[in-house]
């Protein structure tokens, strides 16, 4: 097997938006639901 290399970003939605990634309304709504419960919501982006 040949090893593969990936870039991984783990950030909040605003950082990802500022860096050109699009977040669907479904995901954003789910994150808001968690945040309203006092939970920290993060996103993971893998190329």
d(CA 6, CA 29): 28
d(CA 39, CA 30): 11
Tell me the pLDDT tens digit for each residue of 1-47. 899 999 998 998 888 889 888 999 999 999 999 999 999 999 998 98
Looking at residue 43, its pLDDT comes to 93
Q: The pTM is what?
A: 0.68
Sketch the domain layout of the chain as residue ranges: 8-46
In 1-47, beta strands by DSSP E: 8-11, 43-46
Tell me the pLDDT tens digit for each residue of 9-20. 899 888 888 988
Looking at residue 16, its pLDDT comes to 86
d(CA 5, CA 10): 16
């Amino acid at each position: 097997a040949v090893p593969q290399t990936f870039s991984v970003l783990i950030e909040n939605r605003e950082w990802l938006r500022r860096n050109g990634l699009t977040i669907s309304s479904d995901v954003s709504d789910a994150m808001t639901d968690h945040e309203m419960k006092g939970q920290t919501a993060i996103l993971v982006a893998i190329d």
